[in-house]
Structure 1
Amino acid sequence: AAYAKAVEIQPEHAAAWYNRGNLLFNQGKLQQSVDCWTIAITIQPDLFRAWNNRAAAYDRLDRDAEAVADYEKTLQLNPVFVRAWDNLAWLLATSNHKNVRDPDRAIKLATKACELSEFKDWNCLNTLATCCAENQDFTAAVKWAKQARAIAPEPDRQELDQLVIAYEAHLKAKSVAGKQNEDRGIIRQ
């Protein structure tokens, strides 16, 4: 109610629209949050967090191409904003839209997020693990998931443990299939 009143009193106040968008997003009112951030961006085009947050809302609304464009704009405005590197990497690795999905680029972006955070942000490490897994590099996925787990808060460790188990199962399956092919004299290049 306070942000609604603030934008009513000062409709040209970008921060009020930005904060109202955050509140609506947290209430699950995604399209309304998009509308607020769009107004904030119109008033203050360099408000990179509004671009990032609108991208996150677009992602949840399954509007992935728009999310990618907004994450890229965020990075143009603030090339050291770790969260945008991480968010864009996650989206490119996990999108259900073939025209958006790009696991190779996702790995590069996730690596950049990890570098910017000095490999100390467990969310970024988890994203890198996911990107590697989506690119069928389960050895790297296990490595990064274990590093993420080592520094994650206790409540998040169980989920990371499950990811490590899943990635290791893929490695084991690949190893068994490779052994079976060797036993049959099949060479795969």
Structure 2
Amino acid sequence: MPNDLSAYGPRAYAYAKQGDRTRALADAKVAIKLKPSQIPLARVTDLGLRAKTYQILGQPKLALRDFREAIRIIPSRGIAYENLAWFFATCPQEGFRNGAEAVSAATKACELSHSKRSGCYDTLAAACAEVGDFDQAVKYEKQSLKDSSLAPKEREECEKRLALFQQRKPFGDEF
């Protein structure tokens, strides 16, 4: 058991990315249980990590529940809307993609962050592509690429999505 309670959420996500379903779910559940409810920001962060873990593990209903709960706890947190928008724009499981919801949540994320996060533009681009508005998708993806602080891997992923949008194709996560 890690001494640092903040390690459970990120470790759960890492286990999920490695395909270790058992450890991922165990850590994700512990992360939520150990955080006192009086620390809403920590809880929202762990809910987001657990939701992403559930999504990677092919459990979109549980992911959606956690994304929505994070918004309920702190409705002014832009990243919570960004996570929900990404889910609706890119979810690989049938029946969960919803372009209109994605655009709405991504727009809200950009408003709450005052459009200062490149991730908001990237997510809004994916949402626009999901509803077939590829001109806007290209515009927003180019905006996200203007961020000089993007890590090389993030930049590469944004460039790949830009190429898809220029070909008038939406982006879908593959887990």
Query: Residue 38 and residue 24 in structure 1: after superposition, are their counterparts in 2 closer, same or farther (change >3 A)?
Result: closer
- Contact map agreement 1:114 1:125 (CA 8 A) in 2: yes
Say which is worse superposed, 45-54 or 142-151, in terms of deviation.
45-54
1:19-43 superposed Cα distances (whole Å, 9 cap, x missing partner): 2342343243454233233234335
Q: 1:139 aligns with which of 117, 135, 139?
A: 135
Indicate the residue corresponding to 1:68 in structure 2: 64
Query: Residue 53 and residue 164 in structure 1: after superposition, are their counterparts in 2 closer, same or farther (change >3 A)?
Result: closer
- Contact map agreement 2:28 2:53 (CA 8 A) in 1: no
Indicate the residue corresponding to 1:164 in structure 2: 162
- Contact map agreement 2:11 2:27 (CA 8 A) in 1: no
Q: 1:42 aligns with which of 33, 38, 45?
A: 33
* 1:122 paired to 2:110: no
Q: Give TM-score scaled by structure 2 length.
A: 0.78
d(CA) in 2 for partners of 1:30 and 1:165?
A: 32
Indicate the residue corresponding to 1:180 in structure 2: none
- Contact map agreement 2:12 2:25 (CA 8 A) in 1: no
Indicate the residue corresponding to 1:104 in structure 2: 100
d(CA) in 2 for partners of 1:22 and 1:157?
A: 22
Question: Structure 1 or 2: larger helix share?
Answer: 1
d(CA) in 1 for partners of 2:158 and 2:140?
A: 10
Larger radius of gyration: 1
Aligned residue for 2:138, secondary structure, equals: helix
Aligned residue for 1:170, secondary structure, equals: coil
Percent identity between matched residues is 28
Indicate the residue corresponding to 2:87 in structure 1: 91
d(CA) in 1 for partners of 2:2 and 2:140?
A: 46
d(CA) in 2 for partners of 1:24 and 1:97?
A: 21
After superposition, residues 7-86 of structure 1 pair within 5 angstroms as 16=5, 18-27=6-15, 28=18, 29-43=20-34, 44-45=36-37, 46=40, 47-86=43-82
Aligned AA for 2:49?
N
Query: Residue 31 and residue 75 in structure 1: after superposition, are their counterparts in 2 closer, same or farther (change >3 A)?
Result: farther
Q: Give TM-score scaled by structure 1 length.
A: 0.73
- Which segments of structure 1 move beyond 6 Å, counting only runs of 4 or more? none
Query: Residue 36 and residue 146 in structure 1: after superposition, are their counterparts in 2 closer, same or farther (change >3 A)?
Result: same
**Number of equivalenced pairs:** 159
d(CA) in 2 for partners of 1:84 and 1:30?
A: 24
